[in-house]
Structures are given as C-alpha cells and as structure tokens.
Chain A
C-alpha cells in the first residue's frame, strides 16, 4: 500500500538532494538544476496531499502543482537567459568569479 508517509519521505529526500546540488555547484546552470529538483519535490508533495488528505476540493493540489510547473518554466527561461548574458559579459558562468558586488 502506498501511503502518504512514503510520498513525503521520497519528496523530502529529493528536496535535500536538490538543496545540496543548488548550494554546492560552481556553475550557474548546476545551481538551476538543483532548484528544479527542489521544485519537483514540492510538486510531489502537493500531488501526494491531493491524493491522500481530506480536503473540500481534492483537485486543488494538482492545480497548485500545475501552477508550480508553469512558474518553474518561466523562471528557468529567465535564469538561463541570465546565465548566457553573464557569459557574454564576463566570459564565465562560474559563480565564484562573479564577485563585483562583494564588499
């Protein structure tokens, strides 16, 4: 039997892996990959709640997940455009080298 706890554990593990990837990459696109993994784990949580938890309108979880997918797509587009633009200006996408705003 699949139960809500199984889904939550999988989503939490995916979230922590995504967090590790997002925090520990030097490449800007690598960080974006971690962020997308975190968003996916959030979606998994929402779908699990829609399936298992008592609520007045159970489809709300899936609607929320569709919105998260939409916003993730928009954010990925802008983030990758930023990465490409930064490469053109600074010839590198290594976030350790982008230190202009440092004190």
Chain B
C-alpha cells in the first residue's frame, strides 16, 4: 500500500482524529465536546480504511457515530444545564503529565518491539472473512456478545424506568 494518496490520507486523518480528541478535552460546552468526539470517531473510521479494514470502518461509523453518539447527545440533554460544562478538575495539570508519561511509555514499547511484519495485501473481502471467522472459531464469543447486548438493553431500560424516583 505505498500509494502516496493513501499515505497522505493516513496523516491527514490522524491529524484530524488527534486534534478533535484534544478539542474534546478543551472546549467549554459539553455538546461541543460530543460533536468533536463524533468527528474523532469518523476520523478513526477513515484510519481503518487506510489500513484495509473496510467492514470495520463502516461498522464504526454506523455504531459509534450513528448510535453511541446519539445516546450521548440524549444523555447530555437529559441532564441539568448547570452540569453541562466540560470543566476539568483542579488537578488536571499533573494528570496531563501522567497521561503524557503513559503515552510515552506505550510509544517507546511500540517502537522498540520487533514486530514480525508482513507486507502486501492480506485480505480478500474482509466482510466475508469476518463472517466466516465469527461462525467458525468464534461462534461462542459471538453468541455471548449477543447475550451481553440483550442484558445491557434490558438493564438500561430498567435503570431509567420512571418508577425509580421514589426510591431516594
């Protein structure tokens, strides 16, 4: 994959993703933060496409930018306006140092390890291969994931039922 267009796209998308993630930390209003988060999700989906994961990229846009973002927007709008600032805690500066240190450690380990790299196009049709992998070796995690989703759905519905208000 040494098309110059793909390399340029990778760097542009990486810049978009990282800058949007930084803006999530920096903006003052929570809804703006959610919108920048959506932009970073779409940037990550673009990065997946440059890494020849087209199915996962479209699934990312569908689920993250289409459903989870909508969930977050609804949750932000259902919570009070006084708590809708994107403020950081008072000890945010040491936290940024900590996060930076952790990132540096991860980068160092990533650059230092000898990954056994293989070049060339490795996937045929990723959707078909993912489907086969989900049915043959990974059938059990597939079923368990569906059970997890059902449980999460039922749990979320029960948590926000109107009858819970009098239990305070």
Query: A residues bordering B, Cβ < 8 Å?
Result: 1-10, 12-21, 23-27, 29-30, 32-33, 36-37, 40, 43-44, 47-54, 57-60, 62-63, 65-67, 69-78, 80-85, 87-89, 91-94, 96
Chain A residues closer than 8 Å to B115, beta-carbon distance: 4, 49, 52-53
Within 8 A of A (CB), among B68-94: 68, 71-72, 74-76, 78-80, 82-89, 91-92
Chain A residues closer than 8 Å to B165, beta-carbon distance: 88-89
Q: A33-B37, A89-B167 are in contact. List 16 more A-B contacts (CB 8 A).
A: A2-B7, A3-B117, A12-B110, A19-B98, A21-B25, A25-B86, A30-B33, A43-B48, A53-B118, A62-B53, A63-B133, A69-B60, A73-B63, A78-B155, A80-B74, A91-B80
Other-chain residue from B18, B44, B51, B56 in contact with A2 (beta carbon distance below 8 A) = B51
Chain B residues closer than 8 Å to A82, beta-carbon distance: 159
Other-chain residue from A6, A13, A29, A67 in contact with B75 (beta carbon distance below 8 A) = A29
A-B contact pairs, 25 of them (CB 8 A): A7-B47, A13-B107, A14-B18, A14-B40, A17-B21, A18-B21, A23-B98, A24-B91, A25-B89, A26-B89, A33-B33, A40-B40, A50-B51, A54-B118, A58-B123, A60-B133, A63-B134, A65-B53, A67-B145, A73-B67, A78-B156, A87-B78, A87-B80, A89-B165, A93-B79
Cα A3 to Cα B88 with chains together (Å):
35
Chain B residues closer than 8 Å to A87, beta-carbon distance: 78-80
Chain B residues closer than 8 Å to A57, beta-carbon distance: 133, 137
Chain B residues closer than 8 Å to A77, beta-carbon distance: 71, 152-153, 156
* Structural contact, B111 and A85, CB atoms closer than 8 A: no
* Structural contact, A63 and B53, CB atoms closer than 8 A: no
0 or 1 for each of B120-162: is its CB under 8 Å from A? (1 = yes): 0011001001100110011001000100110111011101100
* Structural contact, A48 and B103, CB atoms closer than 8 A: no
Chain B residues closer than 8 Å to A36, beta-carbon distance: 37, 41, 64, 68
Task: Give 3 nearest A-B pairs by CB, closest first.
Answer: A16-B103, A74-B152, A8-B110
Smallest CB-CB separation from A88: which chain B residue? B165
* Structural contact, A8 and B72, CB atoms closer than 8 A: no
Q: Given contacts A63-B134, A77-B156, is CB(A52)–CB(B117) below 8 Å?
A: yes
